[in-house]
């Protein structure tokens, strides 16, 4: 079975992206601590925290693809 759908919730301007222990298709799943949206590096967009910063872990996952 190929992966699963990522959660996509409306952000409240409080985003804080953190890595989780979960992987989908070999890519680490990140979760927003505020709105519980999820992200993997397979997505074409890159999540930013509320302050506009891209977390180091997200940037690293982005480089690894």
Which residues contact Zn ion (rule: CB under 5 A)? 11, 15, 32, 34-35
Nearer to Zn ion, 32 or 41 (CB): 32
Strand, coil or helix: 4: coil
Nearer to Zn ion, 26 or 52 (CB): 52
37-46 burial code (b ≥16 CB/10 A, e <16)? bbbbbeeeee
Contact 17, 39 (CB under 8 A): yes
Give least dist CB 27 to Zn ion, A. Answer: 19
Give least dist CB 61 to Zn ion, A. Answer: 16
């Amino acid at each position: 079975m190929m992966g699963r759908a990522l959660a996509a919730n409306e952000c409240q301007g409080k985003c804080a992206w953190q890595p989780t222990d979960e992987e989908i298709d070999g890519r680490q799943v990140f979760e927003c601590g505020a709105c519980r949206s999820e992200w993997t590096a397979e997505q074409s967009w890159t999540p930013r925290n509320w302050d506009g910063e891209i977390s180091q872990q997200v940037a690293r996952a982005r480089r690894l693809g």
